[in-house]
Amino acid sequence: MNQDEVKIALERAGFDNARGEARLLSEHYGGDVPRGAVERRLNHEPLQYLLGEWWFCRERYIVSPDCLIPRADTETLVEQAVRRLPQGARFLDLCTGSGCVAISTLCARPDLSATAVDKFEKTLALARRNAAENGVADRCAFLAADVLTDPPEVGMFDAILSNPPYIPDAVVPTLSPEVRHEPPAALCGGPDGLDFYRAMLTHWKKRLRPGGFWLFEIGYDQADALRELAAEHGLSIEVTRDLGGHDRVVYLF
């Protein structure tokens, strides 16, 4: 199918950005988009998975159904990390997924090093590829570990970053068809969406150096809940909003 035919098919199905998506698909497939690819998009498979890549901050990321799709909102987390991490710092990125948080932070700060953690080997393999593609593999280690449990002995870090699963389990089935194509393990944050924050603050604090800090992405309505968690752990908190004006990142120290 040529670009105009793809655009018409997407428009008829009610896709908001039919023209832009048709252009991206046409460019990706060299002008002749397979009908099967169009059918996948019409079935609401995310455009990013069809393209196999997506841009985040200034970097290009390989993406697949093994990872959450990088989103512009998460760039706020990277911006805060780049601004707050001290010179020569070593940081953890928990629930790394595609690796975009750790990798884009490292790309912006050549003085930093990181360890990226994920539970799933296929996801870690994807993150390793992205680190290599973006030229930071020599400064980013990778670790398979369950963030909900005690961490292995991996040394101490100046900061712990995370964009964890934070959507309440009961809400996930109500999300858009595109989002429901993404891995449930990257979305489901427990009954109230806070399971990973509780686990990280409880179990992973032993990996944080004295004077270190936490940076978490949160849901737009979770700032008050994180304030309560911070108080329970004797931490101060600052909340940063994303470009859309929503609470998005918490700095705990």
Residue 67 lies in a domain: no
| Residue 96 pLDDT | 98
3-state secondary structure of 231: helix
Q: How confident is the model at residue 153, as a pLDDT? A: 93
Say if residue 83 is in the same domain as residue 33.
no
Range of the domain at 44: 3-62
Shared-domain flag, residues 14 and 38: yes
Per the structure, how many domains does the chain have?
A: 2
Q: Are 17 and 99 within one domain?
A: no
Measuring CA to CA, which residue among 186, 162, 163, 169 is closest to residue 64? 186
Same domain, 182 and 108: yes
User: Is 103 inside any structural domain?
Assistant: yes
| Residues 187 and 247 occupy one common structural domain | yes
- The reply to whether 47 and 77 lie within a common domain is no
Q: Which pLDDT belongs to residue 167?
A: 98
E strand or H helix at 243: none
pTM: 0.95
Please indicate, yes or no, whether residues 235 and 201 belong to a single structural domain of this protein.
Answer: yes
| Residues 197 and 220 reside in one and the same domain | yes
* Last-in-domain residue among 62, 81, 107: 62
Point out the residues of the chain with pLDDT beneath 50. Answer: none
68: left (phi over 0), alpha (psi -120 to 50) or beta: beta
Is residue 157, in this structure, part of any structural domain at all?
yes
For tokens 């963030």, the residue is: 147
Per residue in 15-48, pLDDT (tens digit) is: 999 999 999 999 999 999 999 999 999 999 999 9
Question: Considering 62, 87, 108, which residue would you say is the last residue of a domain?
Answer: 62
Q: Which of 189, 248, 252 is nearest to 71 (CA)?
A: 248
Q: Considering the domain boundaries, does residue 235 fall inside one?
A: yes
Do residues 109 and 175 share a domain? yes
Q: What are phi and psi of 118, to 5 degrees?
A: -150, 155
Q: 215 near 239, Cβ under 8 Å?
A: no
Residues 85, 206: one domain? yes
Give burial (CB, 10 Å; 0-12/13-18/19+) of 202. Answer: middle
Q: In this structure, are 88 and 25 located in the same domain?
A: no
Count the neighbouring beta carbons within 10 Å of the beta carbon of residue 10: 22
**Of the candidates 105, 71, 77, 72, which has an alpha carbon nearest to the alpha carbon of residue 91?**
105
Domain boundary among 34, 62, 90: 62
Alpha-helix runs per DSSP H in 15-167: 18-28, 35-42, 47-51, 75-84, 100-108, 121-133
CATH number, domain at 147? Answer: 3.40.50.150
Q: Is residue 23 part of a domain?
A: yes
pLDDT of residue 215: 98
Is the residue at 177 inside a domain? yes
Q: By C-alpha distance, which of 252, 244, 202 is closest to 219?
A: 244
Same domain, yes or no: 117 and 187:
yes
CA–CA gap between residue 121 and residue 142 (Å, rounded): 10
> Taking a C-beta distance cutoff of 8 angstroms, is the pair 84, 213 a contact?
yes
